[in-house]
Amino acid sequence: MEDNPSDSAAIEALTPQRRVVLEVIRSSMGHLTANEIFEEARRRLSTISYATVYNSLRHLKQAGLVGELNFGNAASRYDRDTARHDHAICTKCGTLVDLYIPATIDLMRAAAEQADFEAESIHLTLTGVCSGCRLVVSD
């Protein structure tokens, strides 16, 4: 979760725009959308454009410095945590929660064998109702 020291060199090589985008993602607790990242990035670097945010996100993702998450047809969300982990998503409010289920990786072999795939990664998504939404009276 904390910055990986081996990233330092890669981070120093970033353009100011890309560094700002990365810092926005790293400084947020949640999983921001490109639009949210753009808004916050613009506060820190007023000249940055929408296209550059998208270009930066693509570059950072490719460089392994951020992860991208897709659920449904909504906007992608970007994850500061690039290590393999799982997610839970609330069907009421859309809240996205990080999940660390070590047993997920155990299913990779069986899944790869069944699919006849050379496995690269595996991801578990729990859908349900978050604690906040369970407290709401009106279902």
In the complex, the residues that contact a second copy under the rule CB under 8 A are 70-73, 76, 86, 88, 90-91, 97, 99-101, 103-104, 107-108, 110-112, 114-131, 134
The interface mask with DNA, positions 37-76, x = CB under 7 A, is --------x-xxxxxx-xxxxxx-------------xxxx
- Residue 24 or 48: the one with the smaller Cβ distance to DNA is 48
| Distance separating alpha carbons of residues 72 and 18, to the nearest angstrom | 27
Verify binding: residue 17, DNA, rule CB under 7 A: yes
Pairing of strands 32-33, 96-99: unpaired
Residues 6 or more apart whose Cβ sits within 8 Å of residue 96: 30, 31, 69, 71, 77, 87, 88, 89, 90
- Among residues 4, 11, 26, 96, which one has the least CA distance to residue 59? 11
- CB under 5 to 8 A by kind: which of DNA, a second copy, none does 63 bind? none
- CB under 5 to 8 A by kind: which of DNA, a second copy, none does 90 bind? a second copy
Distance of CA 59 to the CA centre of its chain: 14
Residue type, 121: S
The secondary element (H helix, E strand) that includes residue 78 is: strand 77-79
- CB under 5 to 8 A by kind: which of DNA, a second copy, none does 28 bind? none
Minimum CB–partner distance for residue 13 and a second copy (Å): 26
Minimum CB–partner distance for residue 74 and a second copy (Å): 9
- Residue 26 or 84: the one with the smaller Cβ distance to a second copy is 84
